[in-house]
Amino acid sequence: DVKVTQSSRYLVKRTGEKVFLECVQDMDHENMFWYRQDPGLGLRLIYFSYDVKMKEKGDIPEGYSVSREKKERFSLILESASTNQTSMYLCASRASTSALIFGPGTRLTVT
């Protein structure tokens, strides 16, 4: 069963902490994405990657960075977490002309 997995379902961090969200896909997809989802705002793209070591800014990259050292793994990093980064974070992957396949999501709370 092909899938996208995320390291945590729920995470609680303090303001100023460095936070790592990990994502792994087993479909050999070239493209991987990080979104955040907030009530009333829908899905917003943070960063994406078309290949190993490649990264592109999405629509809301401020306060985030990413790392893609291996094809199957795409990490989202919050350098210094803030309360406005409390959200549901969704990782996704896709082949070049196929649908996005999403992970289960990580609900992050920053206190």
Partner 1 sequence: GESVGLHLPTLSVQEGDNSIINCAYSNSASDYFIWYKQESGKGPQFIIDIRSNMDKRQGQRVTVLLNKTVKHLSLQIAATQPGDSAVYFCAENGMSGGGADGLTFGKGTHLIIQP
Of the pair 17, 59, the CB lying nearest partner 1 is at 59
Least separation in angstroms between CB 22 and partner 1: 15
Report the nearest approach of partner 1 to the CB of residue 45 (Å).
Answer: 5
- Site residues for partner 1 per CB under 8 A: 4, 31, 33, 40, 42-45, 48, 56-59, 90, 97, 99-105, 107
Q: Is the CB of 51 or the CB of 56 nearer to partner 1?
A: 56
Strands (E), the chain: 4-6, 10-13, 19-25, 31-38, 42-49, 56-57, 64-70, 73-78, 87-94, 101-102, 106-110
Q: C-alpha angle 61/65/71, rounded to 5°?
A: 115
